[in-house]
Amino acid sequence: MAQVDQAQLLEFLCRMGDNTLVLGHRVSEWCGHAPVLEEDIALANIALDLIGQTQMWLGLAAEVEGKGRNADDLAMLRDVWDFRNVLLVEQPNGDFGQTILRQFLFDSWHLAMLTGLTTSTNTEIAAIAAKSVKEVQYHVERSAETVIALGDGTAESHDRMQAALDLLWPYVGEMFVPDAVDDAMAAAGVAPDLGALRARFDAEVSTVLRAATLTPPEGGFAHKGGKTGFQHSEHLGHMLTQMQWLQRAYPGAEW
């Protein structure tokens, strides 16, 4: 087993925590706006699950960093270039179908990733994964079923879902293309090999998309730059102004 570089471990933990933080905030934007009450509550629950997972990931990240910061500091006081989430999760909600499809694509990756992390050589990571994976099994069950219902629904719902898939599919690649950090985590047994997760993802996602009568666009083009922090889309900055304004305007405010 290779030694784990602490800076790379921190980077990896921020990726996990920023994914759940940014998606959690995005999903929470539906609160009070979802098409029906039942979906509103379900989405709020999913958002809360993701924020809860964020507390664990960023809490551990702050410990590893060892600079006296905590999870709240990392979430609320970092600027956009410090975020390490994949581009998929920062994409705007769009219509309900687009939100659900984004959720389904992320959930499918997330479940495969967390399942791999439950056997991490890092026991703290394994513990967080074990707790999170139960929540995410439910997330993907729900999002997959809704993708099928809408994709294989009316002509309008099908067209909206296909449009969402055309828009979001190019964001899938970034979740699976490993960089130096991912390679180091895999070599140390901290995290699963991302490339190996892709086969499971493709098998499960294609089954659902077929049932939903949806077709992913041709070609393997993949947007990237989110998880490395190299270049986020313009949407993340706008989102952070909403998410962070209270701590920015009233530093240290508590309730």
Told to check if 149 binds other proteins by CB under 8 A, we report yes
Separation between Cα atoms, residue 54 and residue 21, nearest integer Å: 5
Which phi and psi (to 5°) does residue 253 adopt? -60, 140
Which of 8, 28, 45, 244 lies at the binding interface for other proteins (CB under 8 A)? Answer: 45
**How many of the chain's residues bind other proteins (CB under 8 A)?**
11
8 Å CB contact between 130 and 116: no
Which of 1, 3, 38, 221 lies at the binding interface for other proteins (CB under 8 A)? Answer: 38
8 Å CB contact between 86 and 78: no
Burial readout 93-122 (b: 16 or more C-beta within 10 A, e: otherwise): bbebbbbbbbbbbbbbbbbbbbbbbbebeb
Q: How many CA atoms lie within 13 A of 132 on its CB side?
A: 29
CA pseudo-torsion sign 243, 244, 249, 253: positive
Q: How far is the CB of 43 from other proteins (least distance, A)?
A: 9
Told to check if 79 binds other proteins by CB under 8 A, we report no
Told to check if 147 binds other proteins by CB under 8 A, we report no
Applying CB under 8 A, the span of 41-49, 117-125, 168-176, 209-217 interacting with other proteins comes to: 41-49
Which of 1, 3, 32, 36 lies at the binding interface for other proteins (CB under 8 A)? Answer: 36
Choose between 4 and 148: whose C-beta lies nearer to other proteins. 148
Separation between Cα atoms, residue 1 and residue 186, nearest integer Å: 10
DSSP state of 2: P
Which residues are CB-neighbours of 219 under 8 A, at least 6 positions away?
A: none
Told to check if 124 binds other proteins by CB under 8 A, we report no
Applying CB under 8 A, the span of 12-20, 32-40, 62-70, 122-130 interacting with other proteins comes to: 32-40
Q: How far is the CB of 36 from other proteins (least distance, A)?
A: 6
For the chain, where are the E strands, in sequence order? none
Told to check if 41 binds other proteins by CB under 8 A, we report yes
Told to check if 127 binds other proteins by CB under 8 A, we report no
Applying CB under 8 A, the span of 40-48, 76-84, 207-215, 247-255 interacting with other proteins comes to: 40-48
Tokens at 161, concatenated: 């879902």
Cα→Cα distances 210→52, 88, 147, 206, Å: 33, 22, 11, 6
Told to check if 179 binds other proteins by CB under 8 A, we report no
Told to check if 211 binds other proteins by CB under 8 A, we report no
Choose between 36 and 253: whose C-beta lies nearer to other proteins. 36
Separation between Cα atoms, residue 219 and residue 135, nearest integer Å: 32
Q: How far is the CB of 251 from other proteins (least distance, A)?
A: 33
Q: How far is the CB of 136 from other proteins (least distance, A)?
A: 15
Told to check if 142 binds other proteins by CB under 8 A, we report yes
Residues forming the site for other proteins (CB under 8 A): 36-38, 41-42, 45, 138, 141-142, 145, 149
